[in-house]
Chains A and B, each alone.
Chain A
Amino acid sequence: AQKVTQAQTEISVVEKEDVTLDCVYETRDTTYYLFWYKQPPSGELVFLIRRNSFDEQNEISGRYSWNFQKSTSSFNFTITASQVVDSAVYFCALSEAGNQFYFGTGTSLTVIP
């Protein structure tokens, strides 16, 4: 079974629109970490955020915000006032106690000028 599900394969938005990327995870551990990465066309995955299972506070970083809800096992990512530079593939990942990461299949975001 997929531990991390990103149901949205591709999303297109017009510049300045807000967009939310969904991530649903599955784990039985009480201690775990969730991550978001951005993969621009150049190919390298860039770390965006890490959240541990005991911290359900939402986080905002500039135009980026993350909503972590344990009740629904979701860790959604919102980009406010999207820009063309936000066009990329975004991956959500889960790490349980141990060293392996489980990645979702990614959401390809296209921001149209």
Chain B
Amino acid sequence: DVKVTQSSRYLVKRTGEKVFLECVQDMDHENMFWYRQDPGLGLRLIYFSYDVKMKEKGDIPEGYSVSREKKERFSLILESASTNQTSMYLCASSNVWRGGSQETQYFGPGTRLLVL
């Protein structure tokens, strides 16, 4: 069974703290994604990675960085957490677009982050 796991379901941090959100997939997928979800705004892409050590900025990368040292693991880092980063963070993975075919993205359960 396909599995994307995220290190925490709920997290409370203080302004200025460095925050690590971890995501692990067991499907040997090349692509991994980090989104944030806010009411009325849907899912917004923060960063994605199509290979180990590769990363691409999404629509809202400011204030975030990522790390992909191993194929199965994609970390999102908030260098100095701020209250406007309070949100739901979703990790996803997928195979690459191959031969004109795109499979679905598989999502983790999400991490609800509260920055005080």
Q: Which residues of A contact B (CB under 8 A)?
A: 6, 9, 31, 33, 35, 37, 42-47, 50, 52, 91, 93, 95, 97-101, 103-106
CB distance from B3 to the nearest CB of A (A): 11
Instruction: Determine whether the beta carbon of A44 is less than 8 Å from that of B109.
Output: yes
Instruction: Determine whether the beta carbon of A99 is less than 8 Å from that of B42.
Output: no
Write 23 A-B pairs (CB below 8 A) sorted by A numbering: A9-B40, A43-B9, A43-B90, A43-B112, A44-B107, A44-B110, A45-B92, A46-B107, A47-B104, A50-B102, A50-B104, A91-B43, A95-B97, A95-B102, A97-B97, A99-B31, A99-B50, A100-B45, A100-B58, A101-B92, A101-B105, A103-B42, A105-B42
Instruction: Determine whether the beta carbon of B97 is less than 8 Å from that of A43.
Output: no
Which residues of B lie under 8 Å from residue A97 when comparing CB positions?
A: 97, 100
Q: How far is the CA of A52 from the CA of B101 in the complex (A)?
A: 8
Size of the B side of the interface (Cβ < 8 Å), in residues, is: 30
Q: Which residues of B contact A (CB under 8 A)?
A: 9, 31, 33, 35, 40-43, 45, 48, 50, 58, 88, 90, 92, 94, 96-97, 100-110, 112
Q: How far is the CA of A101 from the CA of B110 in the complex (A)?
A: 17
Instruction: Determine whether the beta carbon of B100 is less than 8 Å from that of A45.
Output: no
CB distance from A75 to the nearest CB of B (A): 14
Nearest-neighbor residue (CB-CB) of A99 within chain B:
B31
With A33-B102, A104-B42, A105-B40 given, is the CB distance from A99 to B94 under 8 Å?
yes
CB distance from B98 to the nearest CB of A (A): 10
Sample of 8 further A-B pairs with CB below 8 A, known A99-B48, A103-B35: A6-B42, A33-B102, A44-B110, A91-B43, A100-B45, A101-B92, A105-B42, A106-B42
Q: How far is the CA of A59 from the CA of B33 in the complex (A)?
A: 28
Instruction: Determine whether the beta carbon of B110 is less than 8 Å from that of A43.
Output: yes
Q: How far is the CA of A100 from the CA of B109 in the complex (A)?
A: 20
Nearest-neighbor residue (CB-CB) of A54 within chain B:
B100
Nearest-neighbor residue (CB-CB) of A53 within chain B:
B100
Shortest Cβ-Cβ A-B pairs, 7 listed: A105-B42, A45-B107, A43-B110, A103-B43, A47-B104, A44-B109, A95-B102
Q: How far is the CA of A35 from the CA of B58 in the complex (A)?
A: 20
